[in-house]
Homo-oligomer: A and B are copies of this chain.
Amino acid sequence: MKIGVLGGGQLARMLSLAGTPLGVDFVFLCQAHDACAATVGEHLHARFDDKAALEQLATQVDLLTYEFESVPAESVEYLGSRLPVYPPPGALATARDRWHEKTLFNELGIKTADFINLNSFEDLQQAVPRIGLPAIIKTRTEGYDGKGQRLIRDESELAAAWEAMLDVPAIIEAFVPFAREVSIIAARSVSGELAFYPLTENEHRDGILRKSTALANDPMQGLAESYARRLLEHLDYVGVLAIEFFQVGDELLVNEMAPRVHNSGHWTIEGAETSQFENHIRAILDWPLGSTALRGHAVMLNLIGDLPDSKKILAQPHAHLHLYGKDERPGRKVGHITICAENEAEVNACIEAIGPV
């Protein structure tokens, strides 16, 4: 069994590390010379719109998945005509466009912050009184890790904000004074089997995820699962789906979804019976999904920009180091640490001993 992956970054790398023990081989289509998944699979070095490479990939593998949503629709369409592509291209198209995505959420009765579509500066001027300030302008496509977003506090900032958006389609969204951010990682197999991981609480800094904490028996678990189930079934989804929420009082407002394995689910490698990576592979192969039960308490810390002192981290008995084989660069995710222990006190002591990362 051979799986093709569009993308060759850390998510592709961790998919292979989880799928190889299941007897699966991997081919990564990635234009980067230093694709960090290349050490654990075959690297097809080309752009996503390279027809010959897509053709070669299609003949080499049994089915196809991807590690991020910004792949050209035409490439996915072509591959979909040749072999099974999971998650389904429709889910990819929806997730790639914030306006489509949020519109779907609302249609399915899943709450979001108020939002309005923007095609022009005039649209923005008319939208502000309806949405109120502060508000956030976000490009409809291509944004991740806080890129393509701009907070507006005051009407005087409107013109500069629109200019910074480079006149691309965007939305304006009400700023949500949330109590916390949580996400759910869910999986659905080809035959429709469902699995939901325990909720994760996420802390961001400068728009980038820094810390994820797995939550045991969180009161919002049921609501998050019901939203995830609606989405998975509506989209006839196959694979792992991540959904990010803002919690306001007893409500969950969906922020966005990611049709793939997700940074906020990295703790599942040590912290759950089956990792999100293994369950993604199982789901797309239509194999039984694995248990998502917690194994103790788990917290994940992202390593951003700088490589850590590996020895210092590994000296902590409950710390598990995951480096992605990437060079240092400001703002770049170069690895993560999962701290996993029997109880919360041990986890916190370990985080303190490691210090800032």
Cα-based distance from A273 to B314 in the complex (angstroms): 12
Residues of chain A in range 1-38 having any CB-CB distance to chain B below 8 Å: 13, 16-17, 20-23, 25-26
A39–B25 contact, CB under 8 A? yes
* A-side interface size class: 35 or more
Is A288 touching B311 in the complex (CB atoms < 8 A)? yes
Q: Which of B40, B288, B320, B335 contacts A315 (CB 8 A)?
A: B288
- CB-based contact B22/A321 at 8 Å: yes
Main SS at interface, chain A: mixed
In Å, the complex CA distance between A321 and B296 comes to 22
Interchain CB contact under 8 A, A273 and B25: no
B323 and A21 form a contact (CB under 8 A): yes
Are B22 and A20 interface neighbours, CB within 8 A? no
- The reply to whether B41 and A39 contact each other, CB–CB distance below 8 Å, is yes
A323 CA / B23 CA spacing, docked (Å): 5
Q: Which residue of B lies closest to A323 (CB)?
A: B23
CB distance B273 to A318 under 8 Å?
A: yes
A310 at the interface (CB under 8 A from B): yes
Contact partner, A314, options B290, B296, B321, B323, Cβ 8 Å: B290
Choice from B17, B318, B320 contacting A20 with Cβ under 8 Å: B17
Q: For the complex, is A325 an interface residue (Cβ under 8 Å from B)?
A: yes
Which residues in B have their C-beta under 8 angstroms from that of A147? none
The 3 closest A-B pairs by CB, nearest first: A23-B323, A291-B317, A288-B315
